Structure 1
């Protein structure tokens, strides 16, 4: 699996994690029904599963690369779902994180 396949899995994992966490946020902070927790829990389980599909032998590396993609996806969520446009500082910071994630993904495989 190449860098682009890993990137796609990371984006799907980020959406699943954010959706799952948002379900808990909605229940606790937005006074939504406790029923929001059911799809939230499923989304969080999907997130965990998707991270195991990334082609790397070490969980720590998968999580490190995922971090940058999660940050960018969170800002897209902020805009698309919550209706708040990220600031230029958000975008600058996310760009640095995404570059870092790309460097990690493009690096040579670790040896056992």
Structure 2
């Protein structure tokens, strides 16, 4: 499996997880109702499946690497969906997390 496909799978997982959590947030905190909450729960369930298509068989490694994608993706989601403006520390932290993800996931192994 190529790095490109793996990165795409991480992006899909982020879309489902962050989107699902946002839908639940909207349903509860913004009083949008059970339909939003239900859609969020379904999206979160889909996230659980997306990670299983990664090439590495080690759950811990996949989930740890995904953490970097989650951090950067959450900031991006906030920008698009809520008008959040990250500061330079948010951006720096996200870049550090993505670098960590790349080392965990794509470092050459014997």
Question: What TM-score do you get using the length of structure 2 for normalisation?
Answer: 0.94
- Does 1:22 find its partner at 2:22? yes
Extract unaligned runs of 5+ from structure 1.
none
Gaps of 5+ in 2: none
Structure 1 range deviating more: 33-42 or 59-68:
33-42
Q: Is 1:91–2:91 an aligned residue pair?
A: yes
Q: CA deviation at 1:60?
A: 0.2
Q: In the alignment, does 2:72 pair up with 1:67?
A: no
Counterpart of 2:8 in structure 1 is 8
How far off its partner does 1:104 sit? 1.1
The CA deviation at 1:109 is 4.8
Equivalenced residue count is 110
Question: Residues of 2 paired with 1:34 and 1:11: CA distance?
Answer: 26
Query: Higher helix proportion, which one?
Result: 2
Larger RCO (alpha carbons 8 Å, 6+ apart): 1
In the alignment, the residues of structure 1 paired with residue 87 and residue 61 of structure 2 have an alpha-carbon distance, to the nearest angstrom, of 29
**Aligned-pair CA distance for 1:4:** 1.8
